[in-house]
Amino acid sequence: MDENLDDVDRIILEILQDDARTPLRKIAERTEVSEATIFARIKKLMEKGVIKRFTALVSPELLGKNLAAFVLINANPKKMQIVLDSLQNMEDVYEVYDVTGTFYVIAKIRAENREELAKLIDQIGEIEGVTSTETAIVLRTIKEETRIKFGLGK
């Protein structure tokens, strides 16, 4: 953990992760510092890259992306950058991880239905350098967390 973050920064981050639209006034009340200080700290956290961006967390299922799957990918090591760049540029690939172990890459994809999922898997298999794939379709999401916890409690 970044030693440059104090408890006020951590509280700000917890509040913003719960609701990025929380008014500065409410954050100031909770942290017992001024709104100007909160504003300056948020700006500094953004400049340091601790806060990457502010965004809305949407429901993929309610927007027609009913299937989620993880594609485990093996690739020619000399072609890894091509594979990673190609995956990164695919619209329905939402997460890409360069990993250790049996597979070189894990990609999280979302599709409207099985037919679209099959097309995506085929497209991944056609990427120059991909030697094999294995797909795990998500049956149920038990836990999907985007927040980073600091152990401060509420």
CA-wise closest residue to 124 among 89, 97, 77: 89
Going by C-beta distance under 8 Å and a sequence separation of 6 or more, which residues neighbour residue 146?
17, 57
Percent of the chain residues past pLDDT 70, beyond the cut: 95
CATH topology (fold) of 61-137? Alpha-Beta Plaits (3.30.70)
At 101-112, the pLDDT tens digits run 999 999 999 999
Instruction: Give the predicted TM-score (pTM) of the model.
Output: 0.83
Where are the domains positioned within the chain? 7-47, 61-137
At 42-51, the pLDDT tens digits run 999 999 999 9
At 59-90, the pLDDT tens digits run 999 999 999 999 999 999 999 999 999 999 99
Q: In which order are the strands placed within the sheet that holds 130-137?
A: 93-98, 105-111, 67-75, 130-137
Going by C-beta distance under 8 Å and a sequence separation of 6 or more, which residues neighbour residue 141?
68
Tokens of 46: 């953004």
CATH architecture of structural domain 7-47: Orthogonal Bundle (1.10)
Going by C-beta distance under 8 Å and a sequence separation of 6 or more, which residues neighbour residue 59?
none
In angstroms, the CA 7 to CA 150 distance is 9
